[in-house]
Structure 1
Amino acid sequence: MPDEKPILKLPSVGIDPLLLDAYREYEGSLVQGVHAEDFASTDPSASTLPTQQILATIAVLPFSDAAGGSDSEYFAEGIAEDILTELSRFRNLLVIARNSSSVFRGKNLDIKAVSKHLKVDYIATGNVRRAGNRIRVAVQLTYAPSGHEVWAERYDRDIVDIFAVQDDIVRTVAVTLESRLGQAIANQAAPRSVPSLAAYECLLLARKFAEVHDPDRAMPYAERALALDPSSSQAHAMISHCAYTKWLREPDDEILQKMVQSAHSAVLLDPGNASAHAILGMALTSQRKYDEAGSHLERALSLNPGDTKALAYHSEWLLRMGDAEGALRTLDDALLRDPIPPPWHWEIRGLILILLEKYADAIHAFARQTKQFWYIAAYLAICFAKLGRIDEARTELRKALEVVPDHNLLRFRIVDEFQSQSFREKLSEGLTLAGLD
């Protein structure tokens, strides 16, 4: 084999260096608020298992940048995340979601310990090396109980073929894990709307910030991606997601309308984009268009049964429709695949627990959401009031009124989103007990 060319530290394609500095500042923020108990908080026997037969469980850990410390680290992690997303399309694999697997990064990981925390059979690791116009992706698949490496491969490609590299890896891993189903399973990998490389890098960074509910930092990346590749379904979906996180903070109808329009565009550009259907389902749920929302959420889960965000959105939709028990089962399915979930998982769980009249448990759940939005303050006011802790209830109610000062509007926004009359009455009664006129 000829000697390799020296590795060059290249500037990221199409990315403003100032925004890259912002990314570095946020590195590690996705695991803020993770508690030690999170690693042992999920008992699979206590959760609702997927109805299909699971042949193997796998975690795809963040890939590393082989050059070390370069601006391409997020690019390496993005490749791993997209591999994870593609693997989750296969109904016979239980794939641990990104938020849980991203906690474990580094070169000296104890594979057996990681597998114990995530409760998986197989762990995929890898690294990416970029040199000039060439890229090398190395992937290893380890059987976790024994620590035995069952498969390893290295892919060298021109940088323009990075998406072909990813598809090669997905198919090879799928065949290795599901040998009984062979290439028939691997061929189910759905084609995606592939943006240009620069737009793709922008999307990776937008996703970093959006998932920690920082739309102000995420939106410039999403808008840049859309400008670079206007036909990208993924870029439109990311714009919608950024609008959603902004709307949660600022309940303005114009922001919500932007979320809906961008999600519609994403679905029109790629009807097979599960993430686009999921965010459109959440947007329509927020507009109280429940029937249409449900059809898009079901489509998202049909396209990608392992999409934990779609499962969480579907859980919230079920709750809005009046099915608290079904919502909790669906959220438990998501937790099975993502045992260290993103912080916003806990606000959905907290609301479910309120409507199941488990107020102390709901308070604990809300405390694990790192972004304490105005509506969480209102939910906490209800919990404290129902538990007779009136002073604490009034303190939380004042926080909610700072954002939505009109008492009638606050009650409307908290209560009217539910189809169930009993749920409406329960929440309204709690707000009154907390001191809302």
Structure 2
Amino acid sequence: SRRKPPADWDAYDYYLQGRALFHRYELDKSEPLFVRCVELDATFAQGHAFLAQALVGRFWYDNDPRTLQNAWDSARAALALDRSDGVCHQSMGLVLTHMRQHSDAGMHFERARSLNPLDVNIAGDYASWLNYGGRAETALNVLESALLRDPLPPTWFWEVKGSSLFLLGKYSEAVGSYQKAGDHFFTHAFLAATYAHLGEME
């Protein structure tokens, strides 16, 4: 789909900065930039969409239901502004996955993929949804296809691939993916679990 242009170019600059940080998995740094983006331009759908995704990232740390509710509010605002934007559907799919509304999340991911079939970021979150649903083999196929289109995906992409490989019992390969996934408590936990399966835990 064609993204609607922002009404405020300062807002768009905050959006671009936030998106760059988000794709490097620097979630805490990206969130305030997306907040500023939508403060300056409340009509910019992708600003709300990426704020929703950043809030999901915060939820991984604070486990606060209010954070997830705020993420849902942002994803809903994004869709209200532009239902033809795949990233808006991706964001709602991500939020609903964490709300354990698996079927509804899947509908949004399928819509996102139909609107943006070549988008590597959508592919990554769709694969994460597949992992949650116990379909790691399909998830890995989605990720491998995405890597053919873009061999330098966002940092967080490797955590999703690592999880697919882990679920499939491909522990050595999972280690390689997790090691590319940034410095977060959950990637350290995933690595520890993977090493344990390999018998390398000291």
TM (norm. structure 1) is 0.44
The answer to whether 1:277 aligns with 2:89 is yes
Alignment pair present for 1:241 and 2:30? no
Which residue of structure 2 aligns with residue 353 of structure 1? 165
1:379 to 185, 190, 200: 190
Task: Report the Cα offset of residue 218 of structure 1.
Answer: 2.1
* Contact 2:18-2:33 at 8 Å conserved across structures: yes
C-alpha distance in structure 2 between counterparts of 1:295 and 1:243, whole Å: 21
Partners of 2:86 and 2:112 within 8 A in 1: yes
- Alignment RMSD: 1.7
Look up the equivalent residue of 1:379 and give its one-letter code: F
- In the TM superposition, residue 310 of structure 1 has moved relative to its aligned partner by 0.6
Name the aligned partner's letter for residue 304 of structure 1: N
**Could you report, residue by residue, the CA deviation over 1:160-211 in whole angstroms, capped at 9, with x for unpaired residues?**
xxxxxxxxxxxxxxxxxxxxxxxxxxxxxx4625332222122112212222
Cα distance in 1 between the residues matched to 2:94 and 2:165: 20
Aligned to 2:180: 368
Contact 1:274-1:300 at 8 Å conserved across structures: yes
C-alpha separation in 2, matches of 1:290 and 1:211: 24
Does structure 1 residue 258 correspond to structure 2 residue 70? yes
Distance change in 2, residues 1:343/1:260 (3 Å): same
Query: Which sections of structure 1, spanning at least 5 residues, go unmatched?
Result: 1-88, 90-189, 392-437
Q: Give the whole-Å Cα distance in 2 for the aligned partners of 1:220 and 1:365.
A: 28
Contact 2:25/2:182, CA 8 A, preserved across alignment? no
- 1:339 and 2:151 aligned: yes
Of 21, 29, 33, the residue aligned with 1:217 is: 29
For each residue in 1:406-431, what CA deviation from the matched residue of structure 2 results, as whole angstroms up to 9, or x when unmatched? xxxxxxxxxxxxxxxxxxxxxxxxxx
Assess if the C-alpha contact under 8 Å between 2:158 and 2:181 holds in 1: yes
Unaligned runs of 5+ residues in structure 2 are none
Task: Give the whole-Å Cα distance in 2 for the aligned partners of 1:213 and 1:291.
Answer: 27
CA contact (8 A) 1:225 1:235 kept: yes
For this pair of structures, how many residues does the alignment match? 202
Distance across 2 between alignment mates of 1:313 and 1:214: 17
Instruction: List per-residue Cα deviations over 1:82-113 (Å, max 9, x = no partner).
Output: xxxxxxx5xxxxxxxxxxxxxxxxxxxxxxxx
Map 1:22-421; keep pairs closer than 5 Å: 190=2, 192=4, 194-371=6-183, 373-391=184-202
Q: What SS does the corresponding residue of 2:151 show, helix, strand or coil?
A: coil
Would you tell me which structure has more strand in proportion to its own residues? 1
Q: Kindly indicate whether the alpha-carbon contact (under 8 Å) linking 1:349 and 1:365 is maintained by their aligned counterparts in 2.
A: yes
Q: Secondary structure at the match of 1:390?
A: coil
| Distance in 1, Cα, partners of 2:37 & 2:201 | 48
State the distance in 1 between where 2:29 and 2:190 align. Answer: 27
Distance in 2, matches of 1:213 and 1:245, equals: 9
Q: Is the 8 A contact 1:231 1:269 kept in 2?
A: yes
Distance 2:175 2:28 in 1: 28
- Kindly state the Cα deviation for residue 353 of structure 1 after the two structures are TM-superposed: 0.9
Q: Which amino acid aligns with 1:200?
A: Y
TM-score of the pair, normalised by structure 2: 0.91
C-alpha distance after superposition, 1:17-40 (max 9, x if no partner): xxxxxxxxxxxxxxxxxxxxxxxx
Query: Matched residues in 1 for 2:182 and 2:133: separation?
Result: 27
Shift in Å, 1:279: 1.3
Instruction: Quote the Cα distance in structure 2 between the aligned partners of 1:319 and 1:219.
Output: 25
Q: Which amino acid aligns with 1:390?
A: M
- Matched residue type, 1:248: W
Shift of 1:367: 0.9
Percent of aligned positions that are identical: 34
Q: Retained in 2: the 8 A contact 1:327–1:352?
A: yes
Deviation of the 1:251 alpha carbon: 3.1
